[in-house]
Structure 1
Amino acid sequence: MVDHRVAIDTYINTGPIANAKWRGMGQLMCHMADVLVFSDVIPDSRSVLLGNCTTPILLLMTNRIDVAVADKKNYYKFMNEVVQRPYVWFVVNNPYEAAYAGSKGVILPPERTQLLRPVGVTLLEKPPPEAAAARSKLVALIEHPGKPLLEITFIQPWLKERNLMEYVQVYGKIYGGPVVLSQHKAVISIPYQASVMKMYEGMVQGTVFAVPTPRFFKELVMDTYNGTMMEFCCRAWVKDHPEDWMEVVDWYHKDFIDGHAMFDSWDELEQLIKGEGKYTPEFLADKKATSKRLMLASRKVSLDGYRDLVEKMERQSCESLHRADMWPPPYANAWKRPERGW
């Protein structure tokens, strides 16, 4: 159905590849449902958008708007036209996605764009409760092999140097889910993305994340470590917005920041790990309750927002069926077969 002489690698996105996909299966994709949803890799929608499909379309942005796009200049120009279409809607699951798109000249339409964050649902089986007591005395740290994250490149060696490993439980990539994390007194997390599912899922369960203060984090990102030691998605944004970068990084957004246990130096992190200074059991218990309360409030906003959005898109889909200018679809002539002479 797709001309693979053009679309040799169907993941790498260019205009010709998107056009080949549209010519191969555009009508099928366009009319397979009353509403179409493209999530995560937004350029996957390029073929349907390029074909002027008028079925209501939701672009659910959980990643950069241009991920995997090879011809970015043409793509940005095209998306600038797409955002003006009244039947294309946008949801960003964190503030950075809209800000990043805007930095590329693609301004999402406020009347058809909503910030609806993840709701933190997990279907993992809950761990046995008998392990909770032992975990409650330890701080957790998660390894992510293959990424230059500060937890691996600096913090683990630092923990060993300070003889702090007895206070810490180190997990691999498979750590058991958010309930396991919530059973620890805190989880050391150095942000490497504007938002991660681990945060939303964990906060629903009352996980306390131990993260650097905005001041200390900015120092680490901009002054101390480069990308080979400390991966972070948004260095350029922090550099260009030194005073308000926290507004687009959910770890530090006002909707969530009060649920975290913050440390302003490595010495303060050591105090947190040992339960010294201000990091008392009462302090951490308050953070646990705040973490859960903030995330449940965010969940309600998202669920209410999706309910409202679905109603609007359903209404638009029904109305379009009765519009003379929307049916047959505008692209229909391009598919019209020539009449045979017999």
Structure 2
Amino acid sequence: YELIRPFGRSDLPEVPKYPENERKLPVLVNYKSTVQFTKILDDFQVKYKLLPKKYGGPTALKQFKAFISLPYQVSTMKLYENLAQGVVSLVPSPRFLRILMSQPQFDFTPSSTTQDLGINFWFKFIEFYNKDLKKFYYTFDSVEELKEILESVNFDAEGRGAKAKIFW
């Protein structure tokens, strides 16, 4: 389909419809930090679907049970796009993200380019932890808690993603 953007016209391929058995899984997008996180998920036997880096945006993500998002910058457009489309998102708590980011394989910008300020300075600006937005997604403080949320929460019944869409 066509998409008109401020900088011109773009022909985007139609987002594929994923098989029903895959749609029951949480999904991650294949970024550098995500690959390392999938190794942790595998260790804890958490099932997931890994999408390629060019995955089709919120139209693709909302087909799945939930989207596991690892913040890699203080502000990302995908946060707002996903809220607007009602994507159910799961995000590590600030404490758990700090643990993940302390490992060299996890990227976080701008701390990677502004070493003098460090990651703790930038955490107060991460939009995922904004008090007005936190109510629209789930946070997990460990992989065990993530697994528990995925196994016990009926995301459709709770409607957190739908509430975000209405709010936005």
**TM-score, scaled relative to structure 2:** 0.75
Partner of 2:164: 291
Q: Secondary structure at the match of 2:73?
A: coil
Identify, as 1 or 2, the structure richer in helix: 1
Q: Which has the higher contact order (CA 8 A, sep 6+)?
A: 2
Q: Secondary structure at the match of 2:159?
A: helix
Instruction: Give the Cα–Cα distance (whole angstroms) in 2 for the partners of residues 159 and 185 of structure 1.
Output: 16
Q: Deviations over 1:240-275 (max 9, x none)?
A: 47xxx43x21111123221111111110112233x2
Partner of 1:139: 26
Distance 1:257 1:126, change over 3 A: farther
Structure exhibiting the larger radius of gyration computed from Cα positions: 1
Partner of 1:158: 40
Aligned length: 155
Whether 1:239 aligns to 2:120 is yes
Q: Which 5+ residue runs of structure 2 have no aligned equivalent?
A: 1-9, 112-116
Cα displacement (A) at 1:281: 3.5
Please, what is the CA RMSD of the aligned residues? 2.8
Letter of the 1:172 partner, please give it: P
Instruction: Give the Cα–Cα distance (whole angstroms) in 1 for the partners of residues 16 and 55 of structure 2.
Output: 14
Distance 1:132 1:290, change over 3 A: farther
Which 4+ residue blocks in structure 1 deviate beyond 6 angstroms?
none
**Aligned positions of 1:159-178 closer than 5 A:** 159-164=41-46, 167-178=47-58
Letter of the 2:61 partner, please give it: L
Letter of the 1:239 partner, please give it: N
Distance 1:197 1:123, change over 3 A: farther
Whether 1:192 aligns to 2:72 is yes
Letter of the 1:269 partner, please give it: L
Whether 1:220 aligns to 2:100 is yes
Contact 1:132/1:183 (CA < 8 Å) preserved in 2?
Answer: no
Q: Deviations over 1:109-155 (max 9, x none)?
A: xxxxxxxxxxxxx98566466x47445411001112xx4x1x212x2
Instruction: Give the Cα–Cα distance (whole angstroms) in 1 for the partners of residues 155 and 11 of structure 2.
Output: 30
Indicate which of 121, 134, 154 corresponds to 1:280: 154
Partner of 1:267: 144
**Aligned positions of 1:1-342 closer than 5 A:** 124=12, 127=15, 131=18, 133-144=20-31, 147=32, 149=33, 151-153=34-36, 155-164=37-46, 167-221=47-101, 224-225=102-103, 228-235=104-111, 236=117, 238-240=119-121, 245-246=123-124, 248-273=125-150, 275-276=151-152, 279-281=153-155, 285-294=158-167, 296=168
Identify, as 1 or 2, the structure richer in strand: 2
Instruction: Give the Cα–Cα distance (whole angstroms) in 2 for the partners of residues 266 and 216 of structure 1.
Output: 9
Cα displacement (A) at 1:194: 0.9
Instruction: Give the Cα–Cα distance (whole angstroms) in 2 for the partners of residues 195 and 207 of structure 1.
Output: 17
Instruction: Give the Cα–Cα distance (whole angstroms) in 2 for the partners of residues 181 and 152 of structure 1.
Output: 18
Instruction: Give the Cα–Cα distance (whole angstroms) in 2 for the partners of residues 237 and 123 of structure 1.
Output: 40
Contact 2:30/2:53 (CA < 8 Å) preserved in 1?
Answer: yes
Distance 1:132 1:206, change over 3 A: farther
**TM-score, scaled relative to structure 1:** 0.40
Distance 1:231 1:128, change over 3 A: closer
Q: Which 5+ residue runs of structure 1 have no aligned equivalent?
A: 1-121, 297-342
Contact 2:88/2:155 (CA < 8 Å) preserved in 1?
Answer: no
